[in-house]
Amino acid sequence: MTPDEDDDALSWAGDTDPTLVPVTTSAPAARKTAQPAPEAPVEVPREPTALDIAEDAEDAAAEAYLEAAERDTAQLSSAMLIAYGILAGVYLLETVGWLVHVLRNQIAAASVFQVTDQIVQFLAVASAPLWLAAALLLTRGRVARTRVGWLLLGAFVLVPWPFVLGK
């Protein structure tokens, strides 16, 4: 290894800059002999332009998107997984309850309202899975308590009362 290579390894870029004040062992002497640096021109703050405002808005939107992505990819706790599993089971039982009620109470006579009744029966059976899907999709990126709250509300609202009461 040559001495030049050794010196290059121990130097920083810009060490040869003539405006730098050399470091000496006597700091007060260096302060006395050092010439004051020329003052840099003072920049006057300018008014933000529409482009600056748009860039700030894009930055804020990007940060919000990244935060939402972090929340979505965050791992659920064991308690939340158990709660989601129990609620999904409740929704499955409600769907089965509505399906049993619909199959027991078929309209025998043809009437004007048969088509309407079939639509209502289909919606009754599909209401629990639709509520579950809507609650999970519409509360994405929110606090877990909000999602569980909507799932609990749906579990109580969609109870198949005709099946429960035996009608």
**137-146 long-range CB contacts below 8 Å, 24 or more apart?**
140/72, 141/68, 141/71, 141/72, 144/76, 144/80
Q: Is residue 141 situated within a structural domain?
A: yes
Task: Measure the CA angle with vertex 72, ends 69 and 73; round to 5°.
Answer: 85
Share of the chain above pLDDT 70, in %: 68
Span 132-143, pLDDT tens digits: 999 989 988 788
Q: Is residue 130 situated within a structural domain?
A: yes
Span 69-96, pLDDT tens digits: 676 556 778 888 899 999 999 999 999 9
Q: Is residue 10 situated within a structural domain?
A: no
Q: Is residue 120 situated within a structural domain?
A: yes
Give the predicted TM-score (pTM) of the model: 0.53
**pLDDT attached to residue 165:** 82
Task: In whole angstroms, give the CA distance from residue 10 to residue 25.
Answer: 19
Residues, the chain? 167
Q: Is residue 33 situated within a structural domain?
A: no
Exposure string for 153-166, b = 16+ CB within 10 A, e = fewer: ebbeebbbebbeee
- Structural domain tally of the chain? 1
Domain hosting 93: range is 76-165
Span 94-129, pLDDT tens digits: 999 999 988 888 766 667 778 888 888 899 999 999
Q: Is residue 18 situated within a structural domain?
A: no
